[in-house]
Structure 1
Amino acid sequence: MSESVYRQIGGKEAVKAVVDDFYERVLSDERLVGYFDGMDMQELRAHQVQFISSVAGGPVDYSADMYEAHAHLDITEADFDAVADHLERALRENGVGDDNVEAIMSEVAALKDPIVAD
């Protein structure tokens, strides 16, 4: 994915807006809110901005081990899908175009295996 996707969606400020919207949705979802108990939400938001910026081709290196970062959470496939749905809605409702949403969500989908508990 080229950096142009990052620029097309509005750069860092647009990504921050998407992340704020995303976490508002996730933390309002009773199926998901428990995953965030005791978490440093400011740190998680910063990681999410880096992650989305990276998968959108922005000027960010994001190299977290997704399995290691999520293994202790026992995330189900249904919950992964719910989080992905919230992200897709946040992208769309913050003006990200269809092609760019699809490009970002395909990167997210590729992470399902290392994130979902076996």
Structure 2
Amino acid sequence: MTIYEQIGETNIQKVVGMFYSRVLLDKDLFPYFSDANIIDLKEHQVQFLSFCTGGPEYRGRSLESAHSGLEIKEEHFMKVGQHLVVALKAYKVSEDIIAEIMKIVISVKDQVVNR
């Protein structure tokens, strides 16, 4: 059974909703999102997180393209990861699954940071 099947799309949607609620309240991270269409971002994040956990194919832009020009600092990337962990825990995702998801997140850091 994939992580996607264990968590379920509904819970992934809820996690992403909580994740963005937290990120948008973070004074260090909000500037990256101030001009963004949050509805679209949430939709893409659900698709991406679903794909990364074994769900349907992701059809969005590449991570490099999506983050191009944002000049995201490593410390901010890590804060985003921390908000994701809190959201996953809030929806009772197991520590083992959170660790697997965070391995995926860390594996794409170079595609996001300083682009």
Category of TM-score, reference length = shorter chain: over 0.9
After TM superposition, the score normalised by the length of structure 1 is: 0.91
> Aligned pair count?
115
User: After the TM superposition, which parts of structure 1 deviate over 3 Å for at least 4 consecutive aligned residues?
Assistant: none
What does residue 22 of structure 1 align with?
Answer: 19
| Distance verdict in 2 for CA 1:116–1:91, change over 3 Å | same
User: What is the percentage of aligned positions where both structures have the same residue?
Assistant: 38
Deviations 1:36-87 (A, max 9, x none): 1111110000000001101111123346321121021110000000001101
The residue type equivalent to 2:19 in the other structure is F
DSSP-derived class of the 2:2 partner = helix
CA distance in 2, matches of 1:34, 1:76: 12
1:105 aligned residue: 102
Cα deviation, 1:19-44, whole Å, max 9, x if unaligned, reads 00100110010000011111111000
Verify: 1:67 aligned to 2:64, yes or no. yes
- TM-score, normalising length from structure 2? 0.93
Q: Does 1:5 align with 2:36?
A: no
Which of residues 76, 80, 93 is equivalent to 1:79? 76
Gaps of at least 5 residues in structure 1 are none
- Judged with a 3 Å threshold, the aligned counterparts in structure 2 of structure 1 residues 23 and 13 are, in CA distance, closer, same or farther, namely same
1:41 aligns with 2:35: no
CA–CA separation in structure 2 for the residues paired with 1:36 and 1:72? 13
CA RMSD of aligned residues (A): 1.4
